[in-house]
């Protein structure tokens, strides 16, 4: 199925997420900035208009559909390894109430994210250059967020160490996965438990083009031991 802008709007509206004309204009502007910047350096392999709306914008917004509490109050969300801004920036456009922090280790991507935030006029967005392993040990960042997420960054066993140290007790890690999600969750159980996480809910669904997706909601039930995250590079080389 091709997801043009009209179908993007209808699919979200049917799911209960209604976008204003201003928000739709922001998505359009985001798409233009993404494609133009992608000519200078690689942000994404997906640049076709309808593909971006399906595989980047809509895919990112599935978090809002399966965790509706993101729309309540002013929750804080940190997106680790933000890359070109997915899923955090589409979520921020659709849910202006969110207070979002984006983290990436590459300066070019950080500068792109800052440009998007400025050009779209997004408020309460912080863009940080750094690695999750280092930032996760900073007192002002550690266990300071209601939600953490990441998209296409690492296997769950590694992802847990990148993200759970940022989540406050009672908060949630929102894991976005494809068809390997269940296997990764099983392999990552030790890491999740060690870092203070416990599976609350898991949702299997398909994008409008039938691509399989899974969202796992991980409750932060215990504080993360101080030794985690380990030093940069260790989580990926020696997963828990």
Distance CA 94, CA 25 (A): 11
pLDDT in tens, 101-142: 999 999 999 999 999 999 999 999 999 999 999 999 999 999
What pLDDT sits at residue 168? 98
pLDDT classification of 148: cutoffs 50, 70, 90: very high
Q: Per-residue confidence at 4, pLDDT binned at 50, 70, 90?
A: confident
**CA triplet 147, 150, 156: central angle to 5 degrees?**
100
CA-to-CA separations, 72 to 47, 98, 215, in angstroms, rounded: 32, 9, 19
At residue 234, does pLDDT exceed 80?
yes
- Is 86 one of the annotated binding-site residues? yes
Tokens matching residue 240? 């828990």
Judge whether 132 is annotated as a binding position: yes
Can you give the residue ranges of every domain in the chain?
A: 5-237
Its CATH architecture, for the domain 5-237, is 3-Layer(aba) Sandwich (3.40)
Please give the pLDDT value at position 106. 95
Task: Please give the Cα distance from 2 to 50 (Å, whole number).
Answer: 6
pLDDT of 67 > 60? The answer is: yes
Name all contacts of 8-17 with Cβ < 8 Å and 24+ positions apart: 8/53, 8/54, 8/57, 8/58, 11/58, 11/208, 12/58, 12/61, 12/94, 15/65, 16/65, 16/68, 17/61, 17/64, 17/65, 17/94
What pLDDT shows up at residue 63?
96
Query: Model's pTM, two decimal places?
Result: 0.95
Percent of the chain whose pLDDT exceeds 90: 83
Asked whether 46 and 55 are in contact (CB, 8 A), the reply is: yes
User: Which residue do the tokens 């940069």 mark?
Assistant: 232
- Digit-coded pLDDT (tens) for 173-224: 999 999 888 888 888 899 999 999 999 999 999 998 999 999 999 999 999 9
User: Is residue 133 part of an annotated ligand binding site?
Assistant: yes
Contact (CB, 8 A) for 127 and 110: yes
Count CB-CB contacts under 10 A for residue 226: 8
Q: pLDDT grade, residue 39 (50/70/90)?
A: very high
Amino acid 2: pLDDT: 58
């Amino acid at each position: 199925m091709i997801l043009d802008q009209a179908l993007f709007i209808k699919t979200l509206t049917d799911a209960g997420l209604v976008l204003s004309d201003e928000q739709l204009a922001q998505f359009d502007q985001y798409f233009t900035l993404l494609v133009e910047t992608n000519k200078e350096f690689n942000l994404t392999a997906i640049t076709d208009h309808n593909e971006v709306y399906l595989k980047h914008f809509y895919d990112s917004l599935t978090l809002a559909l399966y965790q509706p509490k993101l729309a309540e109050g002013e929750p804080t969300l940190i997106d680790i390894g933000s890359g070109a801004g997915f899923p955090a920036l589409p979520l921020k456009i659709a849910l202006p109430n969110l207070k979002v922090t984006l983290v990436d280790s590459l300066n070019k991507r950080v500068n792109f994210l800052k440009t998007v935030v400025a050009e779209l006029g997004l408020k309460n967005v912080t863009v940080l250059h750094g690695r999750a392993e280092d930032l996760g040990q900073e007192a002002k960042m550690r266990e300071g967020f209601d939600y953490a997420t990441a998209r296409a960054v690492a296997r769950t066993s590694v992802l847990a160490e990148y993200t759970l140290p940022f989540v406050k007790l009672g908060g949630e890690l929102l894991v976005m996965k494809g068809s390997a999600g269940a296997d990764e969750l099983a392999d990552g159980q030790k890491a999740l438990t060690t870092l203070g996480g416990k599976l609350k809910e898991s949702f299997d669904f398909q994008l409008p083009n039938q691509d399989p997706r899974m969202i796992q909601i991980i409750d932060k039930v215990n504080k993360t031991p101080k030794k985690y995250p380990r030093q940069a590079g260790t989580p990926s080389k020696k997963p828990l």
